Structure 1
Amino acid sequence: MFSFSMAFAIPFTLFAIFPDWMKNLPKSGGWLNSVKVVLGFLELALALKFLSTADQVYHWKILDREVFLALWIAIFSGMALYLLGKIRLPHDSEIKAIGVPRLVITLLTFSFIIYLIPGLFGAPLKLLAGFLPPMSTQDFNLRGSVGENSTSANATLCEAPNNPASLSFPHEIQGYFELKQALACARKQNKPVFIDFTGHGCVNCRKMEERIWAEPAVLSRLKNDFVMVALYIDEKTELPASEWYTSAYDGKVKKTIGNQNADLQITRYQNNAQPFYIILDPTKEEVLVSPIAYETDVNKFIYFLDQGINTYKAKSASLGLAAK
């Protein structure tokens, strides 16, 4: 919504601050129609982002990553051809020559299209992290087929996770989607639990996964030094009636996986933002280090992980256990 509002608000704001600019504007005509058409292309591309979020939350599986990218490539190709005058719409004036601003925008658009194309084959496209559907929706991943991240294989889980097929981890990480199951496994393996409060529609969660988690030093720690659990706060899967409960926080009955995960985050950890990362002692269910949220500095995130690992090892040593 911010992008939509900015597209309309910026021109009015600038003309309000600099009213003399109005005098320098050319009369309405073909140029104004071109502006409207270009904004239309941009809004169409942004609309797909909102549709993609709903697609992820409700698991329609309409806009997988490569479908989304193909549509964006088609939209921006149409925009570039329109700017070159190869496509004409009603009310457009004939383009006799392409001006410098129009040419620059066209070149930038073609550059963006070229950047998008490798994403069809599994390239991460980190500049667009959070805006594209997650990599787990990619049907064909050339990077994965040649052994991506093969140097940091996942530690074995204690048992298969109890989860809907719609839930998954990025980067071939193995983990759980239910806290009780993760805690039980962590006690068996004598490892701390890494809780990831996340969401299907969480832009910053995807940015963290694609920009920070993908770093080899981070990924190796997540795969081997923790029992991972992802708690989706917007998962719509309804639980059996026997598992429903009334929240002490808001007095509402929590029927879905997402509602119960969100209630857990609010009531136990006094936070309702995502992403939110917690490193937990599985025995006493105590928080080992201060939780962190959206953190774009990979070194700070590694420090957070190492601090949790070392704190858990120190506690285990004091109890006569050997942390794995």
Structure 2
Amino acid sequence: MLANSPVRVAIALAAALFILGATTGEIVQLTVKSPAPSAIRGGTVPLEVRVQIAPGWHIHGHEADEPFLIPTELTLDLPPGVRAGAIRYPEAQGRTFRFAPTKVLHVYEGTVRITTSVTVPAEYAGAEVPITANLKYQACTDTTCAPPKTASAELVLPVADRGEAGVRSSSPGIMSGGFDFSEFLAERGRLLTLLLTWILGLGLNLTPCVYPLISVTVAYFGRQSQASARRRGLLAAAYVAGIVASFTALGVAAASSGAMFGSWLQQPWVLVGLAGLMLVLAGSSFGLYNLRLPTALTRVAGQTMPGVLGSFAMGASMGIVAAPCVGPVLVGLLAFVSQQGDLWLALQLFAVLALGLGSPYLVLAFMVSSLKMLPRSGGWLLWVERAFGFLLLAMAVYFLSPLLPRQAASLAYAAVAIAAALVLGLLHVEARKGWRRFQHAVGLTLALFGVWLALPPASRGTIRWEPYTEQALERAQQENKPVLIDFVADWCIPCHEMEATTFADRRVAKLAEGFAMLRADLTLETEHTKSITERFEVRGVPTIVLLDANGREVHRMVGYVAPEELALAMEKLIQQASRAAPERSQNSIVKPSLSSFSRSSKVTRARA
């Protein structure tokens, strides 16, 4: 009979040898590395765990599709005091297999990169940090599954003090939400990387945080229409150069120190200084004085340079304002630059990114200052000067608003709007009938807007926010609730946009009922906010972090998040919690349609 034939015996022996060979470490090979040459006392070091899966095999995703499947999980063995950061897994691929052709399973194949970080305490006494990465997985082919196993890999990093280590490395968990500059640079070269960075810089103009730049650019250059075309172009170029210079300096500093990008706007003196600059420019627009450099300095610098220096300084201040234009791209760039430790490359990348951000303002500044419809003198020009002055006053209120009570800031905006209505709609009215109607319409609109701003604010949405505290986080874990932490600041325009759109969405508000909704206000820098940003590795606002009921970070979103995107992430976390199954078997798993596999699993055991 065939069952007793040598052929059947040979086939069975070959299958057993295949399973035995496949489960001795050859299916999955693990390596762990860090782009940082050393760990820094008091700093965070990025790690990448690379999983190489043998051809023809796959391992289950981090979130198992069925309760009986073994998910892929990474753990780190670290010395006492050294803390692991959030572990971020790539998205698993949906595939169907012969044993379940109608069921989509999410699996990993080929090369998989898992990113995380370790934080070394400042008081760490050791000379090295030994790190052991352990990956628990179950490998399968299209017809066969091997028993669960654990693969391990080790990395030993020397420990250095901050002064010896140079540039501080940032967490790769941050990079996981952004663009992988290191891979693109290695594959495409520096020139194409710089070109892509410029394009990505242009994309920053799609974020709400550019509103102040547009307002100030229009107000500042709307007064330059009397200059020659050459001078207007020179002033516009100097303005953008200022944006590039300050934005680049802030970016390199943030990447080098690990500080939150845009953290300058947490400093009250910076906000007061920017508001003071807006007030000085507004006074000039109202005709109270003319801004000129001293005569001696003008003679040294020439007739053109004072205006150029002023435009450059104005652009430099706007580079600070543009700092909150944070998003996945910028966060990815911060992480990449901090890992490389190459100052020249950092300067190049941030300068090109800032040039992409500033390029539209080069065009806008030249166009605004070139408006041919403005007469050379007369009531129209005076009216436009006053309008620009009120726009600058509104910007002064904007910069001071983080330091004021919320209602006081609204009343200040209302006062500016009503004053603008009186001056622009009543006091400076032209004799020409058509122009007079336009001025009256502008005045009426501003007056109504000012009254609306002065009214008490209506309640926004139905989400019940709780200030972030350690106690609130612990209480959520005790109640077995997932957590959403919203990192915000008053000077963050995308944060206000999300408050009015994303968090006002009914679907998001309904899902929020099943979460502990915590809000961390990073408006001003304090010891409390510094500890929060360091713990969660927040590099800019808005940032949303989702934690499961065990307090483990499962998802992070940086920059403006649309209602649909946030709702999907929240639903996914809720579904993951609802699928939590009874304790899984750690020893074996039976393939749905191959009964003989359960017997072959006795050949080898998974290491605990």
Report the TM-score, using the length of structure 1 for normalisation.
Answer: 0.61
TM-aligned CA deviation for residue 112 of structure 1 = 4.5
- CA distance, structure 1, for counterparts of residue 548 and residue 542 of structure 2: 20
Identify if the C-alpha distance between structure 1 residues 74 and 231 changes in structure 2 by more than 3 Å, giving closer, same or farther. closer
Identify if the C-alpha distance between structure 1 residues 112 and 27 changes in structure 2 by more than 3 Å, giving closer, same or farther. closer
SS of residue paired to 2:485: strand
2:449 equivalent to 1:183? no
Match of 1:53 in 2: 402
TM-aligned CA deviation for residue 106 of structure 1 = 4.2
Q: Kindly indicate whether structure 1 or structure 2 has the higher relative contact order, using CA contacts under 8 Å at least 6 residues apart.
A: 2
Deviation per CA, 1:201-252, whole angstroms, max 9, x where unpaired? 3221122122211222212222x21112222334445xxxxxxxxxxxxxxx
Deviation per CA, 1:129-149, whole angstroms, max 9, x where unpaired? xxxxxxxxxxxx5xx5xxx86
Tell me which amino acid in the other structure corresponds to 1:286. R
2:444 equivalent to 1:110? yes
2:434 equivalent to 1:96? no
TM-aligned CA deviation for residue 274 of structure 1 = 0.9
In structure 2, which of residues 507, 518, 525 is the aligned counterpart of residue 229 of structure 1? 518
Matches within 5 A, 1:240-255: none
Identify if the C-alpha distance between structure 1 residues 257 and 26 changes in structure 2 by more than 3 Å, giving closer, same or farther. same
TM-aligned CA deviation for residue 52 of structure 1 = 0.7
- CA distance, structure 1, for counterparts of residue 442 and residue 525 of structure 2: 40
Tell me which amino acid in the other structure corresponds to 1:301. L
TM-aligned CA deviation for residue 5 of structure 1 = 3.3
Give the aligned length: 235
Matches within 5 A, 1:242-281: 256-266=527-537, 271-281=538-548
Is 1:69–1:119's contact at 8 Å kept on the other side of the alignment?
Answer: yes
Query: If each structure's strand is expressed as a fraction of its own residues, which one has the higher value?
Result: 2
2:603 equivalent to 1:313? no
In structure 2, which of residues 221, 241, 244 is the aligned counterpart of residue 9 of structure 1? 221
Is 2:399–2:491's contact at 8 Å kept on the other side of the alignment?
Answer: no
Identify if the C-alpha distance between structure 1 residues 119 and 31 changes in structure 2 by more than 3 Å, giving closer, same or farther. closer
Amino-acid identity (%):
22
Is 2:548–2:573's contact at 8 Å kept on the other side of the alignment?
Answer: no
SS of residue paired to 1:317: coil
SS of residue paired to 1:292: strand
Q: Using the TM superposition, name which of 108-117 and 291-300 deviates more.
A: 108-117
Q: Using the TM superposition, name which of 24-33 and 8-17 deviates more.
A: 8-17
2:552 equivalent to 1:286? yes
Which has the greater radius of gyration? 2
TM-aligned CA deviation for residue 306 of structure 1 = 0.7
Identify if the C-alpha distance between structure 1 residues 103 and 296 changes in structure 2 by more than 3 Å, giving closer, same or farther. farther
Is 1:194–1:278's contact at 8 Å kept on the other side of the alignment?
Answer: yes
Tell me which amino acid in the other structure corresponds to 2:545. I
Tell me which amino acid in the other structure corresponds to 1:95. E
Matches within 5 A, 1:153-192: 171=462, 173-178=464-469, 180-192=470-482
- CA distance, structure 2, for counterparts of residue 72 and residue 200 of structure 1: 15
SS of residue paired to 1:291: strand
TM-aligned CA deviation for residue 47 of structure 1 = 1.0
TM-aligned CA deviation for residue 49 of structure 1 = 1.2
- CA distance, structure 1, for counterparts of residue 222 and residue 430 of structure 2: 27
- CA distance, structure 2, for counterparts of residue 25 and residue 220 of structure 1: 52
2:336 equivalent to 1:70? no
TM-aligned CA deviation for residue 10 of structure 1 = 5.7
SS of residue paired to 1:195: strand
Identify if the C-alpha distance between structure 1 residues 29 and 11 changes in structure 2 by more than 3 Å, giving closer, same or farther. closer
SS of residue paired to 2:494: helix
Is 1:194–1:279's contact at 8 Å kept on the other side of the alignment?
Answer: yes
Identify if the C-alpha distance between structure 1 residues 29 and 310 changes in structure 2 by more than 3 Å, giving closer, same or farther. same
Q: How much is the aligned-residue C-alpha RMSD, in angstroms? A: 3.4
Identify if the C-alpha distance between structure 1 residues 226 and 69 changes in structure 2 by more than 3 Å, giving closer, same or farther. same
SS of residue paired to 2:427: coil
2:380 equivalent to 1:31? yes
Tell me which amino acid in the other structure corresponds to 2:562. D
TM-aligned CA deviation for residue 292 of structure 1 = 1.5
- CA distance, structure 2, for counterparts of residue 110 and residue 296 of structure 1: 35
Report the TM-score, using the length of structure 2 for normalisation.
Answer: 0.34
SS of residue paired to 1:212: coil
- CA distance, structure 2, for counterparts of residue 203 and residue 318 of structure 1: 45
- CA distance, structure 2, for counterparts of residue 215 and residue 312 of structure 1: 23
- CA distance, structure 2, for counterparts of residue 8 and residue 43 of structure 1: 9
TM-aligned CA deviation for residue 280 of structure 1 = 0.9
TM-aligned CA deviation for residue 24 of structure 1 = 6.7
Is 2:219–2:391's contact at 8 Å kept on the other side of the alignment?
Answer: no
Tell me which amino acid in the other structure corresponds to 1:195. I
TM-aligned CA deviation for residue 264 of structure 1 = 2.0
- CA distance, structure 1, for counterparts of residue 398 and residue 483 of structure 2: 33
Name stretches of at least 5 consecutive residues in structure 1 with no aligned partner: 56-60, 89-93, 124-140, 150-170, 238-255
Match of 2:85 in 1: none
Identify if the C-alpha distance between structure 1 residues 27 and 10 changes in structure 2 by more than 3 Å, giving closer, same or farther. closer
Tell me which amino acid in the other structure corresponds to 1:275. P
Identify if the C-alpha distance between structure 1 residues 10 and 312 changes in structure 2 by more than 3 Å, giving closer, same or farther. farther
Is 1:196–1:275's contact at 8 Å kept on the other side of the alignment?
Answer: yes
- CA distance, structure 1, for counterparts of residue 420 and residue 440 of structure 2: 8
Matches within 5 A, 1:193-212: 193-212=483-502
Is 1:198–1:230's contact at 8 Å kept on the other side of the alignment?
Answer: yes
Identify if the C-alpha distance between structure 1 residues 119 and 68 changes in structure 2 by more than 3 Å, giving closer, same or farther. same
